[in-house]
Structure 1
Amino acid sequence: MNVTVIGAGNMGSALVKQLARAGHQVRVTARNPEKAQAVAAANPGVTAVRPGDAAAQAEVIILATGYGDAVAALKSAGDLRGRIVVDITNPLTADYMGLTIGHATSAAEEIAKAVPEAEVVKAFNTVFAQVLAEGGDFGNGQTVPVFVAGDSERARQTVADLAKSMGFAGIDAGGLKNARYLEPLAGLNIYLGYGAGWGTSIAPTWIKRQ
């Protein structure tokens, strides 16, 4: 699959690493071209591109910026018509211990309003960068879930399959409005990891009685 990652920080770098390992055609871009080039150089087969070329040839665009930079990054990415955009952002407060929006909307829904020509999917926002970089197998039969919410069934399935190809469990989480639940879930995960001292080798999941 042709995938472009927008963002070369911890999350973007980890996504590029896992996507390349899974055999996808990966491109990376960032506001700082040197950072994008460094990420590409560290992952054989990955190409760094200019921000304006992010959408070209991409079947899936993964938005790995901060929420505040998300819409501007997408609007400068090129033609988004028919593209699946994966929003991994969380609308965090400055201290990372709260959310700036919620209840009646979500970061994903606001991004979708700004780029209506794209199919926006919420995913990967509940996974720490360290977990993403090290892979989804926690041992003892435990696989880290990636919850996928979006209004397009095709887009949800595509992103779930993408997560599975990277060694994670893609979980269909329904329509995009359910990002209103996934973003607070990420907030709880961040609190447990940092505020409660559990560390970043954790991930939220559900258990089901057989």
Structure 2
Amino acid sequence: MNISFIGAGNVASSLGSLFTNAGHTVKYGTQNPNDSQLPVVDAISFGEVVCFAIPFSAMHDVLTANKEALKGKIVVDITNAINISDWSPLFLGEDSGGEQTARLLPESKVVKAFNTIFADVMKEDKQLFDGQKLTAFIASDDTEASATIKKLADDAGFNGFIVGGIKNSRNLEAIAQLNIAIAFGGGGTDAGFTYFQRKN
């Protein structure tokens, strides 16, 4: 599958490497591309799946500017609403970044995913904890897009877990904020969440 990342920071490069190792083709788009990157619009054109790993504060303008190019695409929102200066949460009330992305892109297939996983554990040698895979929670109103991203999560070495509609972005973003709070409280970023579900 052709996968694009808008952004080329730690999350994009780490998750992108996992996708590449799983046999997918990954390209990166940035506002000021270097030799190995593409302009944003070209990266969007390339990707069947377009993952946004940029600061939350930039999402509105970037999505609005590229709304037409993103029509029909699976758009994965990996962002979290935080203050970049100190990683403190931006409280969105009864809303979420994922829902905002979905409203801005009504003709795209918006998925919230991977935002609960630190870049530090998006590494092949750090994904297992006592033999257990980290959970990649997935929220979307599009069931086919959810299934596609679950497969990508599984391909990348996580346990993809679909939690329902895009409204559940609120819960996923809260999980991410908890993860950050634990990390900054001394827990560090070599950590993550695993969801256990008894099947019988």
TM-score normalised by the chain length of structure 2: 0.91
Q: Which residues in structure 2 correspond to 1:9-88 (within 5 Å)?
A: 9-34=9-34, 37=35, 40=36, 48-77=37-66, 79-88=69-78
Q: Secondary structure at the match of 1:28?
A: strand
- Shifted more, 8-17 versus 154-163: the winner is 8-17
Q: Secondary structure at the match of 1:190?
A: helix
Which runs of 5 or more residues in structure 2 are unaligned? Answer: none
Aligned amino acid, residue 98 of structure 1: P
> Corresponding residue for 2:112?
122
Task: Give the Cα separation in 1 of the matches to 2:170 and 2:187.
Answer: 24
CA shift in 2, pair 1:70/1:191, >3 Å = same
TM-superposed CA distance for 1:139, in Å, is 4.4
Q: Secondary structure at the match of 2:50?
A: strand
Q: Given the alignment of the two structures, is residue 95 of structure 1 paired with residue 82 of structure 2, yes or no?
A: no
> Corresponding residue for 2:7?
7
1:22-64 Cα offsets, whole Å, 9 max, x none, are 1111111112312xx4xx4xxxxxxx21112122132100000
Alpha-carbon contact 1:136-1:167 (below 8 Å) kept: no
Runs of 4+ in 1 over 6 A off after TM superposition: none
Task: Give the Cα separation in 2 of the matches to 1:57 and 1:97.
Answer: 34
> Corresponding residue for 1:174?
164
Q: Given the alignment of the two structures, is residue 205 of structure 1 paired with residue 187 of structure 2, yes or no?
A: no
CA shift in 2, pair 1:96/1:145, >3 Å = same
Which runs of 5 or more residues in structure 1 are unaligned? Answer: 41-47
TM-score normalised by the chain length of structure 1: 0.87
1:165-207 Cα offsets, whole Å, 9 max, x none, are 111110011000000111011000001112x111111112223
Q: 1:113 aligns with which of 96, 99, 103?
A: 103
TM-superposed CA distance for 1:147, in Å, is 0.1
Alpha-carbon contact 1:136-1:168 (below 8 Å) kept: no
TM-superposed CA distance for 1:135, in Å, is 5.5
Aligned residue-pair number: 197
Alpha-carbon contact 1:135-1:168 (below 8 Å) kept: no
Task: Give the Cα separation in 2 of the matches to 1:32 and 1:134.
Answer: 29
1:134-154 Cα offsets, whole Å, 9 max, x none, are 456314321011000000000
Alpha-carbon contact 1:3-1:59 (below 8 Å) kept: yes
